[in-house]
A and B are shown apart, each in its own frame.
Chain A
């Protein structure tokens, strides 16, 4: 009997993973099944040709934004590492800043009657904004820059821990002994090593670029619309031509995101080899520390300005050009949100907490049981990669299709599941790192003393890893709390998170209510991550 119990215990993680794998396989299988039934090669090639401008814009914009984000993150990491990594606490706040507020803030910054135009009007004295003639070139530039800067805090946070492991101080000393410049140490030695270890975060941001909706919709160009926008547009549309496009758009998204991953990883490889083998920066000496400093100032200033814009929008009663701040104030946006959405707000906190904690417990259980089973880790890695690489909008369309086909679970269960699978990879990667960093000597000693596995987990591991566990919970919580595509695609509005309501309000005329909502959105994740950061004083992944 004990043997059977042991066998079941040992295989439970495998069963859980296979169950998850099975569902993901069914979801992806269902997407391709629908595509095979409904799509012909001829119609796909026609759509592909018609959509070529959209495809190239989407691909180029996302590629450039990821490349910009990597470079900016590297220079900032260099600056922060030298200055002291303890000063990187601001990154946590920037990471938890809601995407919708960020996009709206950027729009109000660059609009013809936006903040820059108003500042210009002070000197020029114009009472009426100049006519706008900016085309899609500027829109593409704004999209690339703003998406890149939005990704930078996440990359820097991970980049700092990578930098710690590289032992950059020693590299710099050795390089300077050899008579090479500091820039050479940085670009020829540290950057290739750093870039090599940044594969996973780069993959995460590529996947996000190709599935984000809010950035492409609010900041992206319109002629042509980016593929990310076209997918949701055809999902909603009652226009038959647009509806028919959906299947082609799904294939195109999968193809171009895979292509982007291949290109970026190839570029990464080439860059690493090139920088290692050439001596491009040996005698040149630019102060990249200062560049990093300016970029940090730019990043912080941008987020502060965006926060202030959103805040002013949330309390303005009339804020007309050319005034820099609102003339009259009102709190009606805030009171409206609190009066009408307090329950949903609390409910979203509860849902996000329960899902994050469940994911944390499940992952701890799986890892604890299969610590020495590399097979399980490989399957987990594969599962996480599939979830992350598959663009979210496509995956959710697959879930919606499977939900209709199977009709065995309620809509709520699919909703929670669709939230859970987006927490799962983050929990896995962070948890794996935590376990790798943990010194196994403590547990070996406890084993020698005859302390049971459960006891040693609760009395030794947990207290030592509690800060990491809290950080994993915080990140999972904020990822879950800011989800909204599930409410659109999976539940079709029947079950929503607070972020959905904010997005709906942005589609209306009440900009101050929507801005108040987006700032309210910031509070739980922001406070939680600040608390965790203060408590742990460090962050790693």
Chain B
């Protein structure tokens, strides 16, 4: 045989053997509705190529789809060859996965876990449910309100101010229709504002006496503001994304979000006006954490752990928190890092976002409250 051709064939064979021996596919099930998030995951995928990991982003509408896959797999006895290797999850979905033993773990023995604040309970309790090493914190969010500063000079920062604003400016505020996640979070935030003893929200809903006063107060408040909402409260947007163009067109003057950097990111992309600003409830706003978890039947658990380790590395977390990339606040404790690593997190200044730690974090109520609030809302408004 021709010698150069012979060498070329050998090199090719070696390359393929090398690829097949060491490369692993990790199917990452994550929401695919945001191009910023999709781009971030795409970039991560490129970076992981050097570790011989192919990260495939399966863009889903709702993580409930992936949970249904795992439930079917368990039902038919597929314990080894699942199609989901990694999931972006939190809240009641995590509870469902944990309760039905659909997760692999503990997965918190990875190298970069040391950067995560071990004393911050909000990272280790997911909607009142202990994480128990079955998921690893990936990012955090805090309830904020986004407003048009040309229309609102003094944005509301308490429930009383919000109520006054809504009544004085009928039709300029709304919240997403329940059971949308943002809509439910808004109701939980109001619940925090309305209850005197906030600790009750950390206990299961069944601890609340029947009739449950906080829920009654919440519904009374909602009924009171309902006629003053957008469309007189007869229609609600399906998601918070739908309110973005409404805010930019000044149809609404105030909307809600769960990403403190959302306004900045949308101003940059031209979706919102430059006069858009962020505020929140001054006494504290619900903050929660979103996590990464590995399903029980992932065939690539080692590679999935490698991906998680990368995703919680200072470099990846710094990229993620950059408002030019995603703008999702980090879960890492900067005190555990060296100078070089800390430098990665130097915030880009923006007038559109809330300065760090300005608003106290409130822990998500116990997950059972979510269903209770939703059901009561359906009964009252649907």
Chain B residues 1-53 with CB under 8 Å of chain A are: 29, 31-35, 38, 42
Chain B residues 218-269 with CB under 8 Å of chain A are: 230-232, 234-236, 238-239, 241, 244-246, 248-251, 266, 269
CA distance A505 to B37 in the complex (A): 12
Contacts of B34 in A (CB 8 A): 508-510
CA distance A510 to B241 in the complex (A): 9
A239 CB contact (under 8 Å) in B62, B66, B375: B375
Contacts of B38 in A (CB 8 A): 340
A321 touches B250 (CB 8 A): yes
B179 touches A133 (CB 8 A): no
CA distance A425 to B382 in the complex (A): 38
Nearest CB in chain B: distance from A218 CB, A: 8
Chain A residues 211-252 with CB under 8 Å of chain B are: 217, 221-225, 233, 236-242
Asked if B75 is an interface residue, CB under 8 A from chain A, the answer is yes
Chain A residues 503-517 with CB under 8 Å of chain B are: 503-511, 513
Instruction: Indicate the size class of the contact surface on chain A.
Output: 35 or more
CA distance A113 to B250 in the complex (A): 8
A131 touches B171 (CB 8 A): yes
A131 touches B170 (CB 8 A): yes
B 64-103 to A, binary, CB cutoff 8 A, 1 in contact else 0: 1111110010011010000100000000110010000000
A507 touches B33 (CB 8 A): yes
CA distance A504 to B271 in the complex (A): 18
Contacts of A330 in B (CB 8 A): 270
Nearest CB in chain B: distance from A411 CB, A: 8
CA distance A411 to B68 in the complex (A): 13
Q: Which residue of A lies closest to B233 (CB)?
A: A223
CA distance A513 to B378 in the complex (A): 33
Q: Which residue of B lies closest to A53 (CB)?
A: B382
B76 touches A508 (CB 8 A): no
A112 touches B235 (CB 8 A): no
Given A238-B96, A241-B375; A507-B250 close (CB under 8 Å): no
Contacts of B32 in A (CB 8 A): 501, 504-505, 508
Nearest CB in chain A: distance from B147 CB, A: 14
Which of A160-168, A371-379, A487-495 touches B?
A487-495
Contacts of A113 in B (CB 8 A): 245-246, 249-251
Asked if B177 is an interface residue, CB under 8 A from chain A, the answer is yes
Contacts of A238 in B (CB 8 A): 64, 67, 92-93, 96
Given A112-B251, A320-B249; A493-B235 close (CB under 8 Å): no
A507 touches B59 (CB 8 A): no
CA distance A223 to B248 in the complex (A): 26
Asked if B371 is an interface residue, CB under 8 A from chain A, the answer is yes
A340 touches B270 (CB 8 A): no
B65 CB contact (under 8 Å) in A217, A241, A492: A492
Q: Which residue of B lies closest to A133 (CB)?
A: B232
Nearest CB in chain B: distance from A408 CB, A: 10
Given A224-B382, A493-B59; A132-B230 close (CB under 8 Å): yes
Asked if B212 is an interface residue, CB under 8 A from chain A, the answer is no
B378 CB contact (under 8 Å) in A112, A129, A132, A241: A241
Contacts of B188 in A (CB 8 A): none
Asked if A317 is an interface residue, CB under 8 A from chain B, the answer is yes
Contacts of B93 in A (CB 8 A): 238
B382 CB contact (under 8 Å) in A223, A407, A513: A223
B273 touches A320 (CB 8 A): yes
B residues contacting the other copy or chain, number (CB 8 A): 61
Asked if B61 is an interface residue, CB under 8 A from chain A, the answer is yes
Asked if A328 is an interface residue, CB under 8 A from chain B, the answer is yes
Q: Which residue of A lies closest to B71 (CB)?
A: A404
A134 touches B231 (CB 8 A): yes
Q: Which residue of B lies closest to A407 (CB)?
A: B76
A321 touches B59 (CB 8 A): no
Asked if B152 is an interface residue, CB under 8 A from chain A, the answer is no
CA distance A506 to B371 in the complex (A): 26
B235 touches A139 (CB 8 A): yes
CA distance A112 to B370 in the complex (A): 32
B235 CB contact (under 8 Å) in A135, A505, A510: A135
CA distance A318 to B248 in the complex (A): 9
Given A132-B251, A217-B238; A404-B75 close (CB under 8 Å): yes
Contacts of A136 in B (CB 8 A): 234-235
- Which of A236, A318, A493, A504 gathers most chain B CB within 10 Å? A493
Asked if B172 is an interface residue, CB under 8 A from chain A, the answer is yes
Asked if A336 is an interface residue, CB under 8 A from chain B, the answer is yes
Asked if A111 is an interface residue, CB under 8 A from chain B, the answer is yes
A509 touches B250 (CB 8 A): no
Asked if B325 is an interface residue, CB under 8 A from chain A, the answer is no
Q: Which residue of B lies closest to A108 (CB)?
A: B245
B273 touches A507 (CB 8 A): no
Q: A132-B171, A241-B371, A318-B271 are in contact. List 10 more A-B contacts (CB 8 A).
A: A129-B249, A129-B250, A129-B251, A136-B235, A238-B96, A321-B249, A328-B270, A488-B65, A508-B34, A510-B33
- What are 6 inter-chain pairs, A to B, with CB distance below 8 A? A113-B251, A131-B171, A132-B231, A134-B235, A241-B374, A507-B61
Interface residues of B (CB under 8 A from A): 29, 31-35, 38, 42, 58-62, 64-69, 72, 75-76, 78, 83, 92-93, 96, 151, 170-172, 177, 179, 230-232, 234-236, 238-239, 241, 244-246, 248-251, 266, 269-271, 273, 370-371, 374-375, 378, 381-382
Interface residues of A (CB under 8 A from B): 111-113, 127-129, 131-136, 139, 217, 221-225, 233, 236-242, 316-318, 320-321, 328, 330, 336, 340, 403-404, 407, 411, 488, 492-494, 496, 501, 503-511, 513
Report, nearest first, the 4 A-B pairs whose CB atoms are least far apart.
Answer: A508-B33, A131-B171, A113-B249, A321-B249
